[in-house]
Amino acid sequence: MRLLVVPIFMTAALAIAGCNQAKSPEDVAKDVAKAEQKATDEVIKSEDRAQSSLDKAADKVGDQLVHFNNDAARQAYDVAIAQADGNRKVALASCESQSGDAQKACKDQADADYKAARAQAMANNVASNNEASKP
């Protein structure tokens, strides 16, 4: 048994000593080049994934910004129409103090002002929506 143990220890000692042997400069250069290439490839893949993620996030933000601007334009339009309606009602109520042709002319002017205010509100809404949809 003792004779068998000694060769096992000798073989193990030689195997361990062989693990710490220095590689040739050519092998080291190949290993370093391979490691550098692998690291470069991993960085490139990571950058590509990051850029893709950022592009998707930017698209979402851009879509939300367009939606927000369209909503803001619609709200501004609604406010302008409400103001035009209110101004028309006040003008028509003021026309009641007149009679005959003067009252008719007053009402016609109130209606013309109302139509002009609505047209302006619509034009502003279209312009705002066109600006909001530009990249």
> Which pLDDT belongs to residue 17?
53
| 50 vs 73: CA distance, rounded Å | 34
Please name the residues in contact with 128: beta carbons below 8 A apart, sequence gap of 6 or more. Answer: 69, 72, 73, 76
- What are the pLDDT digits (tens) for 68-89? 888 888 899 999 999 999 999 9
Q: Rounded to an integer, what distance in angstroms lies between the CA atom of residue 132 and that of residue 129? A: 5
Averaged over 95-112, what is the pLDDT? 92
In sequence order, what DSSP letters do the residues of 10-34 get, joined into one string?
Answer: HHHHHHHHHHTPPPPHHHHHHHHHH
What mean pLDDT comes out for the span 102-129?
A: 91
pLDDT at 29: 85
Give the residue extent of every domain in the chain.
Answer: 35-132
Tokens of 89: 């009602």
Is 114 or 10 the better-scoring residue by pLDDT? 114
C-alpha span between 50 and 103 (Å, rounded)? 70
Mean pLDDT of the region 34-48: 90
The model's pLDDT over 2-30, given as tens digits with 9 standing for 90+, comes to 555 555 655 655 555 555 567 788 888 88
**Residue 94: both structure tokens together:** 């003021």
Per-residue pLDDT at 111: 95
So what's the pLDDT on residue 22? 74
Mean pLDDT to the nearest integer, 37-58:
88
